[in-house]
A and B are shown apart, each in its own frame.
Chain A
Amino acid sequence: MKFLYKYGTIVAIVVVIAFFSATLDSFFTYANFSDILRSISIVTLVAIGITFSLIVDGFDLSVGSTASLATIASASALVLHRQELFVALIIPLLLGVLVGLCNAFLTIQLRLPDLLATLAVMYIVNGVQLTYTKGFSIYNDMPLPEGGVAPGKFIPSFLFIGQGELFGIPFSVLLMLIIVVCAHLFLTYTKAGRMFYMTGENREAARLTGIPVNRYRAYAYMISGAFAALGGIVLASRIGTGQVSAGAPLLMDAVAAAFIGFSVFGAGKPNVIGTLLGSIFIGVLLNGLTMMNVPYYAQDIVKGAILIFALALSHIAKK
C-alpha cells in the first residue's frame, strides 16, 4: 500500500505506456513521443504556476484564461502591431503578473476565498481577451475591420519557441525541462523556497516565526500568473495563431497534474517534479485515447475521473 502510494504515479505511467504500445502500432514512435512532449510542455508550465499557488495553501483557477490572454497578447503584438520578439514575450508575461496581482489583492487584502475570487478573475480575464478580439482569432494576413490586411506576422524567432528543435529535441520541451529543474532547485534549496512551503504549511506559525506570509502569498499568485502567461506564449507559438480562449482546456489538465504531483515519491505536498510526472501521465493518457479514437468530448470524463483520483490520493497523503 505504501509502495503503491509512493511510486503509484510512476507505475501508472509505465502501465499506460505499455498498454498503448501493445494495442496501438503508431504509439511507441519518436514522432508521437515528441508530439506528446510538446503538448505536455505547455500543460506543465501552467501546472508549475498552480503548484506555486498550492504550496502557499492558495488556489488559482484563473490560469487557463490567463494563458488565453497571453496567447492573444503575443499574437496581437506580432500581427497587429508588428512588434519584435522581446515585446511579444514581455507584454503577455507582464499581463500574467498583473492578473496574479489582482488575485493576490482579492484573496489577501480583501480576504475573499481563493477558489471564488480566482473563479471571478477567470471570467473577467476571459471576457477581456474576448472583448479585445471581438471573438475573432488573430492570424497572419488577417483582414482588418478598417480595410487592408494585418501589417505584421508571426516572426520565425517567435515560432521557434513552440515549433523549433535543438539537438533533435523540441525547444519547448527543453524550455520546460530547464524551468522544471530551476523551479525544483529554487523550491528545495533556497531560503525563499523554504518560506513558500512554511507559509502554506501553517500560516499562523509562519507569521509568528516572522515570515512575511502575505508577501509570499502574493509572490505565489504573481508567479502563477507569469507561468500561465508563459504557457500561453508557447501555445501561441505552437499553433501559430492567436486563438481566442485557447488556454481554457489547460486549466483542468494543469490542476490534475499538480494534484497528482502531491503523491509522487510520497511527498505529500505540492512539488514541481511531481507536477511534471503528473502532466506526463495525463499527456500520455490523452494522446493514447485520441489515437484509440475516443472523441475529445468523452476525454473530459477521463480528466474528471483522474482529478478525483488525484484528490483522493492527496487527501490520503495529508493524513
Chain B
Amino acid sequence: MSGLRMNEIVHSFGDVTVLNGVNFHVQPGEVHALLGMNGAGKSTLMNILAGVLQPTRGTIAIDGKTHTFFSPKDAKRAGIGHVVQEVDAALFPALSVYENVLAEHIVAQKQPLFSKTKQRSFVTQLLARVGLEHLSLDAPVQTCTLHEKQLILLARVLSSSARYIILDEPTASLSDEETNRLFAMIEQLKTQGVAFIYISHKLHEIKRICDRMTILRDGTVVYEGDVSLATEDIVRHMVGRRADVRQKHRREISGEPLFQVKQLYIPKTKTTVDLTVRRGEIVGIAGLVGAGKTELAESMIAHVKTTGERIVRGKKQAWSSPKDAIEAGVCFIPEERRKQGLFMNETVEKNLTVRLLSNIAPWQWIDKRRERTIATSLISSLHIRPSSPTALAKNLSGGNQQKVVIGKWLQTNGDVFIFDEPTKGIDVHAKEEVFAIIRSLADEGKGIIYFTSECQELLHIADTIYVMVDGRFIKRVKAYETTYEQLVHDMSGGE
C-alpha cells in the first residue's frame, strides 16, 4: 500500500460532526486537489493531517505504516509539510532568508553548534530546488515578495524532507506570471517524488496542475478521481442538490444613483474598479477569499490611501479618512467585527450611541437619559440579547455583536451601507435577522453594497451582483438572471 491514506476519518467539535468517515488517498508524486465549499471540512481534514487536530476516529497511514500524530512535530517527522495560506504568520520577518529556511531544521537538530558553511550550502541547494537561486541568503524576509515568501516556506518544508506537501490556496494573491512559475516548480518537484495536496477554489488552475481530485461536501467525500470532469459537474458535486436556493423575486430598481466610484484604485491588488449603487438597490459583490473584497471596501470609505473618484448623490467627494465618508452618509460595517467594529470592553449602550453623540450631547454634555432611551429602542427593535444596555459587548454572541455593529448606524442619517461579510461566524437565525435589517434599509431607499464569498446569500438578498476575481469585476448580472452554480463557476475565475 504505497502513498498516503487517511481512513474513515471522523471529527466532531462538540455535537457538530465536521468530518463523517472521510477516506482520502494521495499517491506519491501526484498533485491531488482537495475541493469543497466553505464549511465542507477541508481545513479540518488538513489540520488533522498536519497534526494540529486529533481525529475523533480514523487512522492515517503512510506507505502502509500507521501513524498517530499528537502534534505538528509528529506529522513533520512522518513527512507531511504544510505551506499555510497566510505565509507571513509562519515567517520571521526581520530574520534572513537563510535563517527562515532553516528555522525548523535548527529547532529539530540535537547538537548545539553547527557549521555555518555546511548549512549555507544546504540552504543554497534548497533554494535552487524551489527556483530561488537569485535570492541572497542574507536578505531579510520582509524585503521579499509574497511569492518569494511562499517559496521560502516551501524550501523550509523541503528541508525536513517532506514527501506530502499541503498547499493551501497558494495562488490566492499571486499574479499570473508568479502562478506559472509556482506551477513549474510543482511539476519539477513531482518528478523528485514529492506529492502535493492542492487546495483551491480556482477550478481552471486545478485542471491545469492537478492529477486527481477529491471533492468534500458536508464532511463526506462525494467524488474521487480524475480532474477531467466537466466544470459544471465539479460545481454540482461541490454544491450538491440544494432545495433551499431561493431565487430572489425580481425588483425593479429605478432610483437615482446614490453612490458611485470611478476608477477607484485598490492598492493591494493594483487594480481599479467602477461601481454604482442606486437608491433602494442591494448590490452584491461576490468573490473568493483573496479576491480583494475587503481591500475594495476599505478603499471605498478612504480607510486606506487610494486614488479615484467617489460620487455621492451626484457630487464629487474628496475624502481623506472614514470620517469624511461617514459625514457624506456612507457607513461601513467591517468584516472583523471584534477588531474593527466594536469597543469590546464598553457597554452595548456606548457602542450603539457612539455615532449619535452629537444628538444626545448637543453642548458636549451627554444626556444619559436620552442615551438610554435610544439604546433601549435599538436593542428592542434589533432583538439584541441580552437586552441589557449595560452588558459588555465582549459578552455577547457573534450574531448579537453584529447587530450592535449595524445598530450604531441605523439612526444616523447614513444613505449608503457597505457590509463586508456581515454573516461571517453568526448562526442561521441571526443571519435571517441581518438580512431582514438589510432589506428594510433598502426599502427605506438606502443603497446597500454587500461583500461576501457566500453566493447563496447574494442570490437571496442582492438585486445586482458583481463578480470579483483578483481585484477586478469580471461580470455584472441581475440576481434573478443567474444561478448558484453559475456564480460559483464565475467566482472560481471560470473560463
Question: Are A and B interaction partners?
Answer: yes
Task: State the A residues within 8 Å of B (CB).
Answer: 189-192, 194-195, 197-198, 201-202, 204-212, 268-269, 318
Specify which chain B residues have a CB less than 8 angstroms from the CB of A206 in the assembled complex.
343
User: How far is A201 from B354 in the complex, measured between Cα atoms in Å?
Assistant: 13
Contacts of A202 in B (CB 8 A): 339-340, 342-344
Nearest B residue (CB) for A201: B343
Given contacts A208-B332, A210-B326, contact A194 B357 (CB under 8 A): yes
Decide if B346 touches A211 in the complex (CB within 8 Å): no
Q: For the complex, what is the distance from the CA of A198 to the CA of B349, rounded to whole Å?
A: 13
Interface membership of B364, Cβ < 8 A: yes
Residues of A with C-beta under 8 A to B185: none
Known contacts A201-B343, A209-B408; A194 and B366 CB within 8 A of each other: yes
Determine if B334 is an interface residue (Cβ-Cβ < 8 Å): yes
Please state if B322 and A210 are interface contacts (CB–CB under 8 Å): yes
Asked whether, in the complex, the Cβ of A210 is within 8 Å of the Cβ of B327, the reply is yes
Query: 1/0 per position for B353-371, CB-CB distance to A under 8 A?
Result: 0110110010011101000
Task: Indicate which residue in A195, A208, A268 contacts B341 across the interface (CB closer than 8 Å).
Answer: A208
The CA of A205 and the CA of B333, in the complex, are separated in Å by 10
Option from B323, B344, B345, B408 in Cβ contact (under 8 Å) with A212: B323
- One of B334, B346, B357 near A208 (C-beta < 8 A): B334
Q: Are B342 and A192 in contact (CB under 8 A)?
A: no
Residue from B301, B327, B343, B366 in contact with A205 in the complex, judged by beta carbons closer than 8 Å: B343
Contacting residues, chain B, for A207 (C-beta < 8 A): 303, 321-323
Interface status of B278 (Cβ within 8 A of chain A): no
The number of chain B residues with a CB under 8 A from chain A is 28
Q: Is the CB of A190 within 8 A of B339?
A: no
Contact between B350 and A211 (Cβ–Cβ < 8 Å)?
A: no
Bound Cα distance A202, B334 (Å): 14
Closest to A185 in B: B365
Flag if B354 contacts A191 (CB, 8 Å). Answer: no
30 A-B Cβ contacts within 8 A? Answer: A190-B364, A191-B357, A191-B358, A191-B361, A191-B366, A194-B354, A194-B366, A197-B346, A198-B346, A198-B350, A201-B343, A201-B345, A201-B346, A202-B340, A202-B342, A202-B343, A205-B334, A205-B340, A205-B343, A206-B343, A207-B303, A208-B303, A208-B322, A209-B322, A209-B355, A209-B408, A210-B322, A210-B323, A211-B354, A212-B323
Interface bits B306-347 vs A (CB < 8 Å: 1, else 0): 000000000000000111001100001010000111111110
Bound CA span A268–B322, Å: 29
CB pair A204–B357 under 8 Å, yes or no, is: no
Tell me the B residues contacting A by CB distance below 8 Å: 301, 303, 321-323, 326-327, 332, 334, 339-346, 350, 354-355, 357-358, 361, 364-366, 368, 408
On chain B, the residues within 8 Å of A191 by CB distance are: 357-358, 361, 364-366
> Which chain B residues border A194 with CB–CB below 8 Å?
350, 354, 357, 366
A211 pairs with B366, CB closer than 8 A: no
Closest chain B CB from A266 CB (angstroms): 12
* Contacting pair A192 B345 (CB below 8 A): no
Q: For the A-B complex with A189-B365, A207-B322, A212-B323 known, give 16 more contacts whose Cβ atoms are closer than 8 Å.
A: A191-B358, A191-B364, A191-B365, A192-B364, A194-B354, A194-B357, A194-B366, A197-B346, A201-B345, A202-B339, A202-B342, A202-B344, A205-B339, A209-B355, A211-B323, A268-B345
Answer whether A205 and B346 are a contact pair too, CB < 8 Å, given A191-B366, A198-B354. Answer: no
Check A190/B322 contact, CB under 8 A, given A197-B346, A201-B345, A202-B344: no
Q: Is the CB of A189 within 8 A of B366?
A: yes
A211→B368 CA distance, assembly (Å)? 20
Chain A residues, Cβ within 8 Å of B341: 205, 208
CA distance A141 to B212 in the complex (A): 95
In the complex, what residue of chain B is closest to A192 when comparing beta carbons?
A: B364
Contact between chains at B303 and A210 (CB < 8 Å): no
CB-defined contacts of B339 to chain A, threshold 8 Å? 202, 204-205
Q: Contacts of B365 on A, CB cut-off 8 Å?
A: 189-191
Q: How far is the CB of A185 from chain B (nearest CB, A)?
A: 9
Q: Are A198 and B323 in contact (CB under 8 A)?
A: no
Residues of chain A within 8 A of B342, CB atoms compared: 202, 205
CB distance from B28 to the nearest CB of A (A): 47
Give chain A residues whose Cβ lies under 8 Å from the Cβ of B332.
208
**CA–CA, A209 and B365, complex, Å:** 20
- Within the complex, the shortest CB–CB distance from A178 to chain B, in Å, comes to 18
The 9 A-B pairs of least Cβ separation, nearest first, read A210-B326, A191-B361, A210-B323, A191-B357, A201-B343, A190-B364, A204-B340, A191-B364, A202-B343
- B192 shortest CB reach to chain A, Å: 45
A207 to B366, CA, bound (A): 21
Q: Nearest B residue to A212 by beta-carbon distance?
A: B323
User: A residues within 8 A CB of B355?
Assistant: 209-210
A-side contacts of B345, CB under 8 Å? 201, 268-269, 318
